[in-house]
Structure 1
């Protein structure tokens, strides 16, 4: 009982810092989810280019960022770039690194959905005089986004969970504050269990929101 009271006391004392860390986590997760989706749409659009060089370059981008471990990319930017005189803040490094990584995954999800489309409707639109950009904006993109809702939702959840690695480049997010809490009283199980519950609640909220969106917009197979 005394151990729990001691842990609760330390938790309450550090609650302002922990809440600040939680806000930082949500800020990072939301930012990279939005930027990763927007860049992913652009990357996906370029995979449809009729220019072979562009397509090959974009496919190489996707393969590179999907294949490279995210932590390696973050360390390369945060600890490696200063040797070239380039110093970026932890948030900037996390934002850029995550965005490039997430965009590659999102582009792959969208391309998979695109491969399942009935191409006759695209041919019909072209025959009606729509240019490639109009076909993409009005026909292709709305459908692939709807078909990709489950995969994009999973990516948002992954963004939230993966944001915890940002503490390794000294970004003071939620998990970093939990680490500090655990270090003050050495009650690691209690601290990490509390963190797990918070992540579970956040993921559950994302899942509920995604189900509502999917119910409204998802195109049945």
Structure 2
């Protein structure tokens, strides 16, 4: 292992670049996935039955479809139609569609735990449906969903490793390349696992702090 770590120092710029790409992808898809989840959630609880069925279909489709299939369809399939996207663009779009579906499901679960009388009271005060959503529904469901949403961020960080299959030069891709060059597969994967564990541990600590600070006390949590 010591000799492998010395070899890593030689390839440190590539490894560090891959780690930066991993953190960038995880951060971007966490933000876009949350924003997309809020939009899907709003569409799911507003409008007529058709809109609700369409949004439910969206959620079921992207939760039920393996993410790797979606990434492969976009990266290897779309060029056959003359549309070629960069690995990062494909990863962001594919992950966002997937993560938004999960986040919307978390928010909908939290929404079912709200008091209907509170929503009716807000409408009786003259608030529009959009105002009720912005001022009453969204702040509460976001706080109720903090544990589930932070767990999703952890999943985003770990799942970002599959982006190397569409040639995105993230951390695991660089470690895989290092393993092939050195024929030290066990050492490379042990180091990669340790790095991911360290990153996830940092996110977990931050997530637990958010839970203590923002989760509504005495209310059922959405997971």
TM class by shorter chain equals over 0.9
Q: Using structure 1 for the length normalisation, give the TM-score.
A: 0.97
Residue 21 of structure 1: how far off its partner (Å): 0.2
Give the match for residue 54 of structure 2. Answer: 57
> Runs of at least 4 residues of structure 1 off by over 2 A?
none
Give the match for residue 165 of structure 2. Answer: 168
Separation in 2, partners of 1:31, 1:8: 30
Give the match for residue 85 of structure 2. Answer: 88
Residue 187 of structure 1: how far off its partner (Å): 1.3
* 2:67 equivalent to 1:70: yes
- Counterpart selection for 2:153 from 146, 153, 156: 156
Q: CA RMSD in A?
A: 0.8
SS of the residue 1:25 aligns to: helix
Give the match for residue 216 of structure 2. Answer: 219
Q: How many residues align?
A: 218
Residue 175 of structure 1: how far off its partner (Å): 0.1
* 2:126 equivalent to 1:125: no
* 2:5 equivalent to 1:8: yes
Q: Using structure 2 for the length normalisation, give the TM-score.
A: 0.96
Q: Deviations over 1:154-174 (max 9, x none)?
A: 100000000000000000000
Q: Deviations over 1:185-210 (max 9, x none)?
A: 21111111111111111111111111
Structure 2, gaps ≥5 residues long: none
Separation in 1, partners of 2:120, 2:37: 24
Residue 115 of structure 1: how far off its partner (Å): 0.4
SS of the residue 2:121 aligns to: helix
Structure 1, gaps ≥5 residues long: none
Residue 41 of structure 1: how far off its partner (Å): 0.1
